[in-house]
Amino acid sequence: MTKFTVLILGSASAAPTLTRNQTSQLINIDEQYYLMDCGEGTQLRLREHKIKIQRINHIFISHLHGDHYLGLIGLIQTMHLLGRTNELTIYCPSNLQEIVEVNLRVSESHLRYPIVYKHVDAKNSKLVYENEKIEVISIPLNHRIACSGYLFKEKPKRRRINPKAIKTYNVPKHQINKIKLGEDFVSENGEIIKNLRLTLKSLPSFSYAFCSDTKYFTPIIPIVKDVDLLYHEATFSDEHSERADKTHHSTAKQAAQIAVHSGAKRLIIGHFSNRYSDLNVLLEEAKTVFEKTEIAEEGRVFEVSFLQ
């Protein structure tokens, strides 16, 4: 099975606390690392979890409130200090480039590695990245300033070799790769064995959606339809729904409603206001609407490829 996990590095909202760091998550898809947001102190959280920072080649920034990007300059500079030469791609609102560049300019830092900025349009859902295994699609959110979530989707996987059939039809080893790629097999006596007979059903493809700061916003629903794991912010409890609305944040109940309506398999809630020392208030509230809810606890690893 493909490795597809989400490590929670921070779950606080604007003001960090001693137990909750600012937003950041590390997505690991078969040892390819993708960093989601980068609040102040993220480089230390990565170090705590023994994450090799030079293996992060893609950083996604949802929006330019400090609690989501203020750790980025430090991380970029530490990557440089530790000898990075590999390109780093940052998916972000266009203004972020100006911020990074002014910091590098005043400190007279001349990075030995290139940074590529991919400016994400916060108004339209678009494919922002793909490789042979996954695609990443932006999710327009509704916050006080331009803000995008990101949907990570594994592409459909190839059918798997059926070792029994390979033996039965005497398929030579050097043909296996072609069969993996979907070809039929022609035996020594000219018989055509269809690929379907030589292979097994492909493994399922999984998906993870990161919905950073947003008020309750139904246009998210069709984009994250049937997602395996949904992260949705839940800054407040229902009791503070007016405050949530005013500050363009969501309540735990609203996060759960998005999970229900999108047919998500599981939900993680995070970005908690520092008024909640006991997060069970938020967890219980979400669970009344959507049972399979969990808390984005610092240091917790969620498996996205989770067979039910």
Residues noted as catalytic: 67
77 touches a second copy (CB under 8 A)? yes
Residue 299 touching a second copy (CB under 8 A): no
Question: Can you tell me which of 5, 70, 180, 221 binds a second copy, judged by CB under 8 A?
Answer: 70
Q: Binder to a second copy among 65, 153, 215, 249 (CB under 8 A)?
A: 65
Distance CA 255, CA 75 (A): 30
Q: What is the distance between the alpha carbons of residues 199 and 169, in angstroms, rounded to a whole number? A: 12
Using the minimum distance from each CB to a second copy, give the nearer residue, 212 or 262: 212
Contact pick of 1, 116, 127, 145 for a second copy (by CB under 8 A): 145
Name which of 93 and 302 has its Cβ closer to a second copy: 93
Rounded to a whole number of angstroms, the minimum distance from the CB of residue 64 to a second copy is 5
Residue 57 is classified by DSSP as E
Question: Reduced to 3 DSSP states, what percent helix, strand and coil does the chain have, rounded to the nearest 5?
Answer: 30, 30, 45
Tell me how far, at minimum, the Cβ of 48 lies from a second copy, in Å: 6
Q: Provide φ and ψ at 292, rounded to 5°.
A: -85, 55
Site string for a second copy, 12-31 (x = CB under 8 A): --xxxxx-------------
Locate 202 and state its tokens: 């492909």
Nearer to a second copy, 44 or 165 (CB): 44
Q: Are 141 and 62 in contact (CB under 8 A)?
A: yes
Task: Give the residue from 104, 24, 117 showing the smallest Cα distance to 62.
Answer: 24
Name the 3-class secondary structure at 95. helix
HSE-CB at 82 with a 13 A cutoff on CA atoms is 13
Q: Using the rule CB under 8 A, give the single segment among 25-33, 60-68, 221-229, 252-260 that binds a second copy.
A: 60-68
Q: Does 44 bind a second copy (CB under 8 A)?
A: yes
Judged by CB under 8 A, does residue 110 bind a second copy?
no
Asked if 98 interacts with a second copy (CB under 8 A), we say yes
Q: Which amino acid is at 186?
A: V
Neighbours of 172 (CB within 10 A): 10
How near is the Cβ of 126 to a second copy at its closest, in Å?
Answer: 21
Q: How many residues bind a second copy (CB under 8 A)?
A: 36
Q: How far is the CB of 37 from a second copy (least distance, A)?
A: 14
Q: How many CA atoms lie within 13 A of 292 on its CB side?
A: 15
Residue number with CB closer to a second copy (47 or 52)? 47
If one asks whether residue 113 binds a second copy (CB under 8 A), the answer comes out as no
Which residues lie below 8 Å from residue 101, measured CB to CB, with a gap of 6+? none
Strand, coil or helix: 136: strand
User: From the CB of residue 200, how many other CB atoms can be counted at a distance below 10 Å?
Assistant: 13
Q: Can you give the binding site for a second copy, defined by CB under 8 A?
A: 14-18, 40-41, 43-44, 47-48, 64-67, 70-71, 73-74, 77-78, 81-82, 93, 95-96, 98-99, 102-103, 106-109, 144-145
